[in-house]
Amino acid sequence: MPPAILLDRPLAWREIGAIAEGAPVALSSAAEQRVREARRRVESIVARDIRAYGVNTGVGALCDVIVTASRQRQLSRNIVMSTAVGVGPALEAPEVRAIIACAINNFAHGYSGVRIEVVERLLALLVRECIPEVPADGSVGYLSHMAHIALVLLGAGRARLHGERLAGAEALRAAGITPLVLEAKEGLSLVNGTPCVTGMTALALTRIERLLDWADVIGAMSFENLHGQVSAFEPEGLNLRVSPALRRVGERLRAALAGSAILAASAGCRTQDALSLRAMPQVHAAVREQFEHACAATDAELASVTDNPVILGSIEAPRAFSEAHAVGAAMGLSADALGIGVAELAAMSERRIDRLVNPLVSHLPPFLAADSGVDSGFMIAQYTAVALVAENRRLAAPASLDGGVTSGLQEDHLSHATPAARKLLKIVGHAELILSIELLAAAQAYDLQPGSLARAPATDALYRRVRERVAEYRDDRPLAEDIERAGEMLRTECAGEL
């Protein structure tokens, strides 16, 4: 097992992504001390009867209802129980792990005021692979997903222990974790903040980083098969646009296509290619720029305190600030923008697939079929790509602009950040499949190229990687299985250095 990621300073999105995929995490002694000090400030607020939202008051529109010290445990428990209203299919384990990691990160700042026991139980869920069952739907922002995680900490709800679905109490018992009895403020802190959107966005970024590199090299394979004019990628012209990302994509495309006898033979045969081919540097770079913005926004969110209220001051003079740090507008907007970018990247990929299967532009056998007529080849695979592009277009509508008023007008603006992150993950999944279809179609096109002109060394190496996993297609098996194998490559492997 690799060494644990030490949570001393705020985690970065790559670390959240690694934890989501199984990397261990541990709390530093300095972070533990920050948690303990924040808890002492909460205890001072309780002892001094200083009004603080969710500590000794109700929540939402009930924020002016005073809750006496004798009922604050009940308040914390009731907040979790009444907020566990998620519906629909369960999130995948990596998504839940990412959310838990972000919650721990938030508490480790030292401004939430939960006991160290709460943080230790959350860490134990990760270490012992006891993953709460979290319904995916029903949150306008940040509440219900964390509530279902908190349920398991209390010995309620359901969880999967090493993949086996159990009642929450049974899962904790089998994992050797003692259920919690929540104290003042802990119920609110457990359901508050932005760990849901931040965790799921970090997971999406982990996948998108791989996908962007795959898009360049898969696009290069299609470009070569379609005898593109490589002069469109020359640095002298590309560098006139002010964009480091564009220069990087141009360099990657030139490296992927360097030494291609196919392109050397077709140089100068056309004035310019279709935009799905020659505009790859501009479009792929624009998506990379959105990706970089989302990375910065996610790291800023992880470095920020996103609880409400936040607890400052000293033990002698504690202060509770009821600010709106739990509103994840920055994350929702960046997830929406990145979703649009990834959807466009995938839409361009589908246009290249269409050119590969269309004999009028590819000059290859119709639909890349080995025996056209009897065989349909990639005809219907392109339909699948079109359907996924259309679904992405619907998903790319911004969640951040959704309306809704909750809690009796108290919460009359909603960021819908968590839904933005959820649909981003769906868009990424569709994009991975669309590019998988293009990868298979490009490999098939190489098999059907007339003559014996050599591929570029880089595209040839990628073609051989594909053929190690998937044989040439001859309508002799379900093509869906080939798409899934190619998709697994894109999800789990790097495209390779160029």
Q: What is the DSSP string of 273-318?
A: --HHHHTHHHHHHHHHHHHHHHHHHHHHHHTS---SSEEEE-SSSE
53 is catalytic: yes
Q: Do 304 and 289 meet the contact criterion of CB atoms below 8 Å apart?
A: no
- Claim to verify: residue 239 and residue 130 sit in the same structural domain: no
Name the token pair of 469.
């996993």
Any residues with CB less than 8 A from the CB of 244 and at least 6 apart, and which?
Answer: none
> Could you list the residue range(s) of the whole structural domain that residue 90 is in?
5-192
Residues 389 and 172 sit within 8 Å (Cβ to Cβ)? no
Q: Is residue 498 part of a domain?
A: no
Which 8-state DSSP code applies to residue 379?
A: H
- Both 184 and 281 in one domain: the answer is no
CA-to-CA dists, residue 150 to 87, 100, 146, 147, 431, angstroms: 16, 10, 6, 5, 33
What whole-number distance in Å separates Cα of residue 131 and Cα of residue 297? 27
- For residue 470, is it within any domain? yes
Is 88 in the same domain as 14? yes
How far CA 33 is from CA of 28, 47, 200, 433, in Å, comes to 9, 21, 28, 46
Is there a domain that residue 107 lies in? yes
**Catalytic residue (one of 53, 111, 142, 473):** 53
- 218 shares a domain with 126: no
Q: What is the largest distance, in Å, between two alpha-carbon atoms of the chain?
A: 86
* Burial track 114-131 (b if 16+ CB lie within 10 A, e otherwise): bbbbbbbbbbbbbebebb
* Same domain, yes or no: 188 and 238: no
Residues 253 and 382 in one domain: yes
Q: Same domain for 166 and 233?
A: no
Please tell me the total count of domains within the chain: 2
Q: How far apart are CA 43 and CA 46, in angstroms?
A: 5
Paired tokens of 256? 């992927």
- pTM, entire model: 0.94
Q: What is the pLDDT along the chain (498 residues), one digit of tens a residue?
A: 678 899 999 999 999 999 999 999 999 999 999 999 999 999 998 888 888 877 878 676 666 777 777 788 888 898 899 889 999 999 999 999 999 999 999 999 999 999 999 999 999 999 999 999 999 987 776 678 999 999 999 999 999 999 899 999 999 999 999 999 999 889 989 998 899 999 999 999 999 999 999 999 999 999 999 999 999 999 999 999 999 999 999 999 999 999 999 999 999 988 999 999 999 999 999 999 999 999 999 999 999 999 888 999 999 998 988 877 778 889 999 999 999 999 999 999 999 999 999 999 999 999 999 887 889 999 999 999 999 999 999 999 998 886 666 656 556 566 778 899 999 999 999 999 999 999 999 999 999 999 889 999 999 999 999 999 999 999 989 999 999 999 999 999 999 877
The amino acid sitting at 484 is E
- Whether residues 387 and 413 fall in one domain: yes
